[in-house]
Structure 1
Amino acid sequence: MPFKKLIPPLKDTITHKGFDEPLAFQKQILSKIKGGTSLFAIAPKDSGKTTSMVISVVQRLKSAFEDAPRALIFVKDKQAALALELEFNLFKRGTDLRVYCAYEEHDIDIQRDEIYTGTDIVIATPKRLNKIFFLNGINLNKLQMCIVEDAEFLFRGHHFAEVTRTPESIGKCQYLIFSTAFDKRFERWKESFMYNAKIINAK
């Protein structure tokens, strides 16, 4: 998917940032993501994984719609959530897309209320997302994209199990897993809710 095929606000932002054309790995995955394919996107740091993900989400959602989130992105901690929110705020300029971060270091009742008022993209730690969900604080019925950013963190603590619970609560959805390596434990997801997923490995 060349950058010229993006929605105008996104194209303007990319031009302003000086991106002339996709990086090699981005050329491999952007069109597949746009086509709705679930992916394990495996590549070293600085391959453009995060930018690809942000561009793809903004391109897919385009504008605010109703109250329930349509994209859910799992990250390892508060710092990662806030950093990713900054990226989205850069790339969603010219759109009215709403981004919300949910993490442990914040009052859960406030987070639940703020999500309820309406958002398009939720960036969350697995533990906090599950707590909000079980408090009936987030509606996942409209979810179109479920993403894990820098997925290496999943295999520390109970994160893998916490993320695995989420597909049990949603219907048809595109799954995108971004990582620097393909862990054998991902095979469990390929055998269940990601059984049609492709592995794109830059290594």
Structure 2
Amino acid sequence: MSFKDLQLNKPLLRAIAEAGYDNPTLVQEKTIPFVLENKDIICSAQTGTGKTAAFALPILQQLFDKQDAPKKGKKIRALIVSPTRELAAQIHENFKTYGKNTNLTSTVIFGGTSIEPQKDVLKKGIDILIATPGRLLDLHKQDCINLDYVETLVLDEADLMLDMGFIDDVKKIERLCPEGKQILLFSATMPFKVEQLANTILKTPERVEVTPTSSAAINVSQVLYYVPKRNKIELCLHLLRNTIKGNILIFRRTKFGVDKLEQTLLKNGYKVDTIHGDKAQNLRQEALNKFKNGYVNILIATDVAARGIDINELDAVVNFDLPNIPETYVHRIGRTGRAGNFGSSYSLCSVDEKSYVKSIEQLINIQIPVEENHPYPLDPKAKPIIHKSKKTGSKHKKGRKSEASKKKKKRWY
């Protein structure tokens, strides 16, 4: 099937061809016709399957067909809500790429940057708004955003949005838009919370499922190293020296862990940068640009920051800390091996993470090969250390009362 078969108009087809795409991906093939028929959609597709274009193209087409010369400036007619700033910025890039031969305008707003320039752009009027929930509601409160004319609402990465605690914001945003709008909900995984949200706000939606959400990327070779927690950094350095080459994305669970590993790698002469939630937006963007342009070849990130990072030339993913949510593992390793390329993933597992491996393997339905030939093996009998609090109490062996007197006493209650 080609994009022409999807009934897209000439300006869009020209932009798609100029961007170098010939044929739609599966998610685009299934989703675009439903969107053009004005149906609500619930779509489970992982990042890297081309889902942004699956909603960007038909939205541009619908708005293009219904353009009228507005007397009082443009109104927001499509609203895309995204959980992270990186993802929002990337969606905006997509809209600019595909909409460049139309006179439709779009902008992106998110927190962590100055609010005034965003107000100025909104004042002039735009057709398409891409936003993170917090900043969107902020600007709405200040009367800078009017959602009364929204025809299509897109909730992207809904599972992450709910994980980040945005459920009330999402419901509020949905209520601020008009009754008869079309809603497109995209989610990489379909936990109960997402299903529940879909049931409350969507009207008889069409379901689109692309690859079961549990399938790990086919083009990614996976390998597991069992290692004592205290030796993880040494093993990581050993692998970087001998095994892992190219552009590498390393995942850690906490911001503190990200910073600590960065310091160690810098001391060892590696070109590294980091992305996590505490970093200002411009620094996060700068780190990403440095990585994309080859100034650094190692990027260390937390999960929240890494969703929506689109890096084409990624050779390897390292799970320095294993995630406790198995779907997160699938997302992480799906960052490499994209667009037909091959990638590798390396996971370092300490004793207390063994249970995570079990649930990951159940989800992806394969056993991850274990590499035992490395300098820091884990003792197979090692058990996780359970920290018990020291008992505090009277330093005298017995309390006030003797055991005998305690037994004799008949309590009145």
Alignment of 1:175 with 2:183, yes or no, is yes
Instruction: Give the one of 108, 111, 122 matched to 1:115.
Output: 122
2:200 — aligned with what? 192
Paired amino acid for 2:61: Q
Total equivalences in the alignment: 203
Aligned equivalents of 1:174 and 1:196: distance in 2? Answer: 11
1:49 — aligned with what? 51
Q: CA offsets per residue over residues 118-166 of structure 1, 9 Å max, x none?
A: 0111110001101111111111111011112222321233312211111
| 147-156 or 133-142, which deviates more | 147-156
Q: TM-score, normalised by structure 1?
A: 0.90
Q: Compute the displacement of 1:2 (Å).
A: 5.5
Q: Contact 1:68 / 1:138 at 8 angstroms: preserved in 2?
A: no
| 170-179 or 187-196, which deviates more | 187-196
Instruction: Give the one of 62, 86, 102 matched to 1:95.
Output: 102
Aligned equivalents of 1:23 and 1:167: distance in 2? Answer: 29
Q: CA offsets per residue over residues 21-70 of structure 1, 9 Å max, x none?
A: 32222221110011011111112333221121211221111158542210
Aligned equivalents of 2:17 and 2:118: distance in 1? Answer: 35
Structure 1: gaps spanning 5 or more residues? none
Alignment of 1:3 with 2:7, yes or no, is no
Alignment of 1:106 with 2:113, yes or no, is yes
Paired amino acid for 1:91: Y
Aligned equivalents of 2:50 and 2:133: distance in 1? Answer: 23
Instruction: Give the one of 38, 41, 54 matched to 2:40.
Output: 38
Aligned equivalents of 1:27 and 1:192: distance in 2? Answer: 27
Structure 2: gaps spanning 5 or more residues? 213-413
1:21 — aligned with what? 23
| 100-109 or 131-140, which deviates more | 100-109
Aligned equivalents of 1:53 and 1:12: distance in 2? Answer: 17
Q: Compute the displacement of 1:186 (Å).
A: 2.4
1:132 — aligned with what? 139
Paired amino acid for 2:115: I
| 14-23 or 171-180, which deviates more | 14-23
Paired amino acid for 1:3: F
Aligned equivalents of 1:110 and 1:18: distance in 2? Answer: 33
Alignment of 1:150 with 2:138, yes or no, is no
Percent of residue pairs identical? 23
Aligned equivalents of 1:78 and 1:180: distance in 2? Answer: 18
Paired amino acid for 2:143: N
2:247 — aligned with what? none
Aligned equivalents of 2:187 and 2:120: distance in 1? Answer: 32
Q: Compute the displacement of 1:72 (Å).
A: 0.7
Q: Contact 2:32 / 2:58 at 8 angstroms: preserved in 1?
A: yes
Q: TM-score, normalised by structure 2?
A: 0.46
Q: Contact 1:190 / 1:196 at 8 angstroms: preserved in 2?
A: no
Q: Secondary structure at the match of 2:201?
A: coil
Q: Compute the displacement of 1:105 (Å).
A: 1.9
Aligned equivalents of 2:121 and 2:100: distance in 1? Answer: 21
Aligned equivalents of 1:157 and 1:17: distance in 2? Answer: 33
- Alignment CA distance shift 1:17-1:67 (3 Å): closer
CA-based RMSD of the aligned residues comes to 2.0
Q: Compute the displacement of 1:15 (Å).
A: 2.1
Q: Contact 1:67 / 1:119 at 8 angstroms: preserved in 2?
A: yes
Alignment of 1:82 with 2:89, yes or no, is yes
- Alignment CA distance shift 1:106-1:59 (3 Å): same
Aligned equivalents of 1:132 and 1:183: distance in 2? Answer: 30
Whichever structure has more helix as a proportion of its residues is: 1
Aligned equivalents of 2:209 and 2:19: distance in 1? Answer: 27
Paired amino acid for 1:149: D
Aligned equivalents of 2:24 and 2:86: distance in 1? Answer: 27
Higher relative contact order (CA 8 A, sep 6+): 1
